[in-house]
Amino acid sequence: MSQVIFEKKLARWAANNNIKRNAITSLLHILKENRYPDLPCDSRTLLKTPRQVVIQDMPPGKYIYIGLKMYLENICSSLKVIPKCLELDLNIDGAPIFHNSFENGCIWPILGRIKNLNSSVFAIAIYGLSCCPKCHIVGKRIENRSAFPSHIAQLRTNEEFRDKVDEEFHHGICEFEKIEELDMINNFPIDYMHACLHGIMKKLFGFVVWFWNKKEAII
């Protein structure tokens, strides 16, 4: 096996199995000392990790597109038979840059995986802000928390999304709009774990614990 082919297979193995970068670098050093002296010394070189990224201004935040094509090509290159249809799962969830503080900045990673191939999760893009994708409610910050004070709001529709009726909600053309059969509102479910279990239920249990402790103190 030539070193070029071995290097490609090694990179594919590392990406498909979600191997940590420091472990890949350590393995490269071992291989270089024994049989493959021309292998790169660092995992970033092996995986062709971009050293510079293009950051697009997309008010009120910034947008970084990492890519989808390279992941699909990398996953499919290791298959003997490629399915006619690839089922792409997407997930978007906010995370504070600093611990427990959305006020000091947050990012919204756009993650994906190939469901029918049981692939590892990969990052497609990263953005800096979001709004409710299902209705026109306007949120606000209350005591360092995102809150939606009203439960009555007009629902969004696939037609108005594609027509860009809400100008403040859109910051460009979404690549998924090219799929005519895709409903841009109803085909993207809200994350149940974060919206309900981690959000509402966590606060309800917190209130129950607080009330019980207060009751015990009074008794």
What does the pLDDT look like over 20-78, one tens digit per residue? Answer: 889 999 999 999 888 888 888 898 888 877 667 777 877 667 788 888 887 888 788 77
Strand positions, DSSP E, the chain: 55-58, 61-65, 88-92, 95-98, 101-114, 122-127, 140-142, 145-147
pLDDT number for residue 130? 47
Tell me which DSSP letter residue 135 carries: B
Rounded to whole angstroms, the Cα distance separating 10 from 7 reads 5
Residue 86 buriedness (CB in 10 A; 0-12 / 13-18 / 19+): middle
Local confidence band at 183 (pLDDT 50, 70, 90 cut-offs) = very high
pLDDT number for residue 104? 47
Q: What are phi and psi of 142, to 5 degrees?
A: -130, 115
Strand partners, 125: 65, 110
pLDDT number for residue 204? 78
Residue with structure tokens 């403040």? 168
Q: Which residues of 13-29 are buried (b: 16+ CB within 10 A; e: fewer)?
A: ebbeeebeeeebbebbe
Single pTM value for the model: 0.49
- Mean pLDDT lowest for which of 128-142, 144-158, 184-198, 199-213? 128-142
Highest mean pLDDT among 19-33, 67-81, 178-192, 201-215: 19-33
Strand partners, 91: 111
Q: What is the dihedral of CA 68, 74, 75, 81, to 10 degrees?
A: 120
Is the predicted pLDDT of residue 10 greater than 80, yes or no? yes
* Interval 96-116: pLDDT, tens: 655 554 444 567 788 998 888
CA nearest 166: which of 132, 207, 128, 141?
A: 132
